A and B are shown apart, each in its own frame.
Chain A
Amino acid sequence: MSASETVPYGIPLDRETPFDPPAAVMALHRGAEMRRLRYHPNGDLGWLVTSHRLARKVLADPRFSARLGSPVQVPIPMPGIEAYADFEGDFPATPGMFIEMDPPDHTRLRRKLTGVFTVKRMKALEPRIERHVQDRLDALAAGPRPADLVAQFAVPVPSMMICELLGVPYERRDRFEADSRALFTIDAGAGAKEAAMNALFAFLGELAAAKRAAPTDDLLSDLAADPDLSEAEVAGMAALLLIAGHETTAKMLALGTMALLENRDQWDLLRGRPDLMAGAVEELLRYLTIIHTGLIRQVKTDFEFEGHQIKAREYVTVSVQTANRDEAHFIEPDRLDVTADAKGHLTFGHGVHQCLGQQLARMEMRIAFAGLIGRLPGLRLAVPAHEVPLVTGQSFYGVAELPVTW
């Protein structure tokens, strides 16, 4: 019996319902906390971790490295994957991309930014986020119905905010939106991804050079002025913030709105109880888990983990979506309940790589959902829910469009 016949290849992405993980992924989770997974058509084996308990353990354990040995970073069948000998070679980390690094390299770069994304600093941004939200709601309310909530609200709010914080002119979003989308489109192909990364580096490198010459009051100027950072590192860090800073929150805002509209009692509950919003955002993050391809690590040495013998160069994927639906940790995990205790969800990750921008994302979501519910309390889907186009082919799950009316 060959392993390829019994071990699943890749993580299933196709869904039966818009808000629940694929049934096939949930079935893998129910069978075992951790199992073998095939990562490549050539039969290379790695691991899939699905329980909340083990997800936390793996993500907090430095033996599971964020340095991946291959540009193919997700265990998902994609065109052209055969070109990569998945477990061989040493693929260098992109300069500045500290999510691909381990301490101490990771620590050196992340610490340049942690002071900027503190709870207190994000709280101070509240009026600016509020203004962007209200501006977009004004435009939405004055425009035609139905409207696409993704293009008119969910994307512009976080995109404008990260641009403002970084000091990237929002008017020049044509220089980064398509490229960042290519980077998180699973089957874009390695060549297209490399071209997109190069284009982003060129754009942000130019901008950083301009800010080095004439600094403005923004994060990119601060990074550009830091003598400890190379020009490539500055461009890479800025690219990482730009990519991670808009598409993730955008996906959550649109999918979160749809989930609340399809669970109308939850929408109505939040209308009367704004004090529930902070908890509601945590519950939406848990319930929807847009990180549907999981978080991936590679081990560099042989060791035993939870009774399994892990071999050097094997990959381990942590399935955040199943961990967030784990009955051993959450009560009634398959139900959306904005009053539930969603504490400990892993949507922002765990361990040293836990999302740097999570406090910004939380603030944006609280203000955006509250703004939407307050301003358009009668909001509803303009098409039947099953006609809303889902996006499963990107690193972040969500909806491509959300036609709404009110």
Chain B
Amino acid sequence: MRIRVDRERCVGAGMCVLTAADYFEQDDEDGRVVLLADEAEDCDTAIADAAALCPAGAITLR
């Protein structure tokens, strides 16, 4: 699946980094999401969790 992030929606809560650190990082300056890889296996539950837990709905999976 493809991972997309919307940095305008991101509120820098860090839930994605806490949940799937291999795919998400926070910008050192403003704390907003930085995508480390935009492709993941469909069965990767950590990615699905990260998208579901994002408080701002900034992560979409396709």
Chain A residues close to B by CB (< 8 Å): 59-60, 107, 110-111, 113-120, 343-344, 348-352, 354-356, 358-359, 362
Contact = CB atoms under 8 A, between A and B. Distances in A.
Given A118-B14, A354-B55, A359-B18, 15 more contacts: A60-B55, A111-B31, A114-B26, A115-B28, A116-B31, A118-B28, A119-B14, A119-B26, A120-B17, A120-B25, A344-B52, A350-B55, A356-B12, A358-B13, A362-B18
B57 A60 contact: yes
Given A350-B55, A351-B55, A352-B11, A343 B31 contact: no
B61 interface: no
A349 B11 contact: no
B30 A111 contact: yes
Contacts of B32: 111, 114
Nearest to B16: A119
B27 interface: yes
B55 A349 contact: yes
A120 B56 contact: no
B17 A114 contact: no
A351 B13 CA distance: 10
B49 interface: yes
Contact of B11 (A114, A116, A362): A114
A351 B31 contact: no
B37 interface: no
B34 to A, nearest CB: 10
12 contacts: A60-B56, A114-B26, A114-B30, A115-B12, A115-B29, A115-B30, A118-B12, A118-B14, A119-B18, A120-B26, A354-B11, A354-B55
Residue among A59, A119, A358 with most chain B CB within 10 A:
A119
A343 B18 contact: no
Contacts of B53: 343-344
Interface residues of B, number: 22
Residue among A114, A120, A350 with most chain B CB within 10 A:
A114
Interface in B1-60: 11-15, 17-18, 21, 25-32, 49, 52-53, 55-57
A117 B55 contact: no
A118 B56 contact: no
Main secondary structure of the interface of A (DSSP, over half): loop
A119 B27 CA distance: 10
Given A118-B17, A359-B18, A111 B12 contact: yes
Contacts of A110: 11-12
The 4 closest A-B pairs by CB, nearest first: A114-B12, A114-B31, A354-B55, A118-B26
Given A60-B57, A344-B52, A352-B55, A358 B27 contact: no
Contacts of B28: 115, 118, 120
Given A110-B12, A343-B49, A115 B56 contact: no
Contacts of A344: 52-53
A293 B13 CA distance: 23
B56 A351 contact: yes
A290 to B, nearest CB: 19
Contacts of A351: 55-56
Contact of B12 (A60, A117, A343, A349): A117
Contacts of B11: 107, 110, 114, 352, 354
A117 B49 CA distance: 21
Contact of B31 (A115, A348, A350): A115
Nearest to B49: A343
A118 B15 CA distance: 10
A60 to B, nearest CB: 6
Contacts of A120: 17, 25-26, 28
